[in-house]
Amino acid sequence: MSNQAVKNVEAANLPKVELHRHLEGALRLSTVAEVVRNEGLDLPTNVEDLRKLIQVTPDQPHSFSNFLSKFRSLRKIYRSSNIIQRVVREAIQDASNDHIRYLELRFSLAALSGERDFPLDEVADWVIEAATKEAEAKGLRLRLIMSVNRHEPPEMAEKIAQMAVDRREKGIVGLGLAGNEAEFPVDPFQKIFLNAQSAGLKTTIHAGEWAGPESVRHALLKMNANRIGHGIRVLENDEIVAIARERKTVFEVCISSNVDSGIIDMVSHHPLQRMIQEELQVTLNTDDPGISNIKLTDEYLIAQRELGLSLDQLKGLIMAAARAAFLEQEERKILEAELRAELFS
Q: Per-residue pLDDT for the chain (345 aa), expressed as one digit of tens each?
A: 455 544 565 777 899 999 999 999 999 999 999 999 999 999 999 999 999 999 999 999 999 899 999 999 999 999 999 999 999 999 999 999 999 999 999 999 999 998 899 999 999 999 999 999 999 999 999 999 999 999 999 999 999 999 999 999 999 999 999 988 888 888 999 999 999 999 999 999 999 998 899 999 999 999 999 999 999 999 999 999 999 999 999 999 999 999 999 999 999 999 999 999 999 999 999 999 999 999 999 999 999 999 999 999 999 999 999 999 999 999 999 999 999 999 998
For residue 203, the domain's CATH number is: 3.20.20.140
Q: Report yes or no: 18 and 100 within 8 Å, Cβ to Cβ.
A: yes
* pTM attached to this predicted model: 0.96
pLDDT tens digit sequence for 212-223: 999 999 999 999
* pLDDT given at position 182: 82
The pLDDT of residue 11 = 75
Cross-strand bridge partners of residue 177: 148, 205
Q: pLDDT, tens digit, for every residue of 261-285?
A: 999 999 999 999 999 999 999 999 9
The residue among 26, 24, 143 whose CA lies nearest residue 76 is 24
Element (H, E) at 203: strand 202-207
Identify the pLDDT of residue 1: 46
Cα→Cα distances 105→17, 93, 130, 146, 166, Å: 11, 12, 12, 9, 18
Strand 202-207: give its sheet, edge to edge.
Answer: 16-22, 100-108, 141-149, 172-178, 202-207, 227-230, 250-253, 281-284
Angstrom distances, CA of residue 166 to CA of 124, 159, 171, 318:
11, 11, 11, 30
Residue 12: predicted pLDDT: 77
Residue 202's DSSP bridge partners are 174
Structural domain boundaries, residue 215: 3-344
Of the candidates 317, 309, 326, the residue with the CA atom closest to the CA atom of residue 282: 317
pLDDT of 185 reads 86
Tell me how far the alpha carbon of residue 4 is from its chain's centroid: 29
Q: What is the CA radius of gyration of the chain?
A: 19
Say how many domains are in the chain: 1
**Spatial CB neighbours of 232, under 8 Å, sequence gap ≥ 6:** 208, 209, 251, 253, 258, 263, 264, 270, 271, 272, 275
Identify whether the C-beta of residue 198 lies closer than 8 Å to the C-beta of residue 218: no
CA distance linking residue 82 with residue 123, whole number of Å:
11
Backbone angles phi, psi at 326, to 5 degrees: -80, 60
